[in-house]
Amino acid sequence: MRFIIQRDHLVQSVQDVMKAVTSRTTIPILTGIKIVVSNEGVTLTGSDSDISIESFIPKEEAGDEIVEIKQTGAIVLQAKFFSEIVKKLPTDTVEIEVQNHLQTVIRSGKSEFNLNGLDAEEYPHLPQINEENAFQIPTDLLKMMIRQTVFAVSTSETRPVLTGVNWKVENNELICIATDSHRLALRKAKIDLTTNETYNVVIPGKSLNELSKILDDNNEPIDIVMTENQVLFKAKHLLFFSRLLEGNYPDTTRLIPAESKTDVVVGTKEFLQSIDRASLLAREGRNNVVKFATIEGGSIEISSNTPEIGKVVEELQSQSIEGEELKISFSAKYVMDALKALEGSEIKISFTGAMRPFLIRPMNDDSILQLILPVRTY
């Protein structure tokens, strides 16, 4: 195999597939990147058997030649060394040639590297996915839906299914839900489905984070295909496979209270900054707890008290308060995470009592909600 390629295209593709390569693997060949050269262009693949990423570099794009193909073939090269070499090559073009016994030569300008390759035949095959039942979603919406939910997944392996985000597709709607059993993030969006298929899968949070990093910020449609144990995201020159988590995701609809006893409308930014300040003295204490209370005249009081450090009290004018008086304590971190995920200048917080979960939603937008369990402070 032998080809000459524009270095910047190669660097970008290598960076993308590297997101799936790990040094901690039981299958040694997976520490490498698979390179396949066909008459159409060059395909790079990286995988850790949970996530697999395939990036395609076409021979030419918009009339510009990107790859000059001299001889087709395939090789696997050590990812760690190959990625560093490619980044640091001196000129804008790179020639890669596989010689006898998988010896691979990488040339650029006056620089020449020799790497020992591995047999591409031994590289595990990517999952074969029947793409009949794909649905589409704009890339920027997908990235936003990931950002607004994935932070709430559990980091503990005691219930592995909670380390993923539950994706449900029904009635032309995609619903993404994440919870670590102390908080919950939900985001939904309308999608166009060609079939009446319904899906209910759990995608690892780690996979969604990596996917989000690779995708460009544009509104090009991305195809999503779900199967029993895999999900495939298909962008223009990129395939991103992730294995799904096994097990049943808990039914979260029961957690979301239907009615509330106290509703507070407040400016998102002011509320976030106020909790941020209160948490400065709460950080040392247990789980950075901040107290929230409604007071006379439509104001709220946000405070925190750590006996050995000191205390902070701040009053914040709300837009409106309806319902019963309320005192509640919660984790500053959880509320700040939730507020950062919401769009819009005003939010509505709905409480159903001091020891019950409360909801945070943007005004006039029912496509997203954040639910948080309070903390007992007696």
Beta bridge partners of 295: 299
For residue 180, the 8-state DSSP code is -
What CA–CA distance (Å, rounded) separates 25 from 205?
19
User: Taking every pair of C-alpha atoms in the chain, what is the biggest distance, in angstroms?
Assistant: 83
Task: Single out the residue of 261, 272, 200, 211 nearest to residue 239, CA to CA.
Answer: 211
Other beta carbons within 10 angstroms of residue 190's beta carbon come to 12
What CA–CA distance (Å, rounded) separates 32 from 315?
57
Task: Single out the residue of 359, 129, 122, 151 nearest to residue 256, CA to CA.
Answer: 359
Question: CA geometry: angle at 89 spanning 84 and 91, to 5°?
Answer: 155
Task: Single out the residue of 313, 314, 311, 306 nearest to residue 284, CA to CA.
Answer: 306
Domain ranges for the chain = 2-122, 135-253, 256-372
The CATH class that applies to domain 2-122 reads alpha beta
CB 349 within 8 A of CB 359: yes
Q: Does the pTM of the predicted model rise above 0.75?
A: yes
Question: Do the two domains 2-122 and 135-253 of this chain adopt the same fold?
Answer: yes
**Each residue's pLDDT tens digit in the chain (378 positions)?**
999 999 999 999 999 999 999 888 889 999 999 999 999 999 999 999 899 999 999 999 999 999 999 999 999 999 999 999 999 999 999 999 999 999 999 999 999 999 999 999 999 998 888 877 789 999 999 999 999 999 999 999 899 999 999 999 999 999 999 999 999 999 999 998 877 889 999 999 999 999 999 999 999 999 999 998 999 999 999 999 999 999 999 999 888 999 999 999 999 999 999 999 999 988 665 568 999 999 989 999 999 988 888 999 999 999 999 999 999 999 999 999 999 999 899 999 999 998 999 999 999 899 999 999 999 875
CATH level 3 topology of 256-372: Proliferating Cell Nuclear Antigen (3.70.10)
CATH level 3 topology of 135-253: DNA Polymerase III; Chain A, domain 2 (3.10.150)
For 272, left (φ over 0), alpha (ψ -120 to 50), or beta? alpha
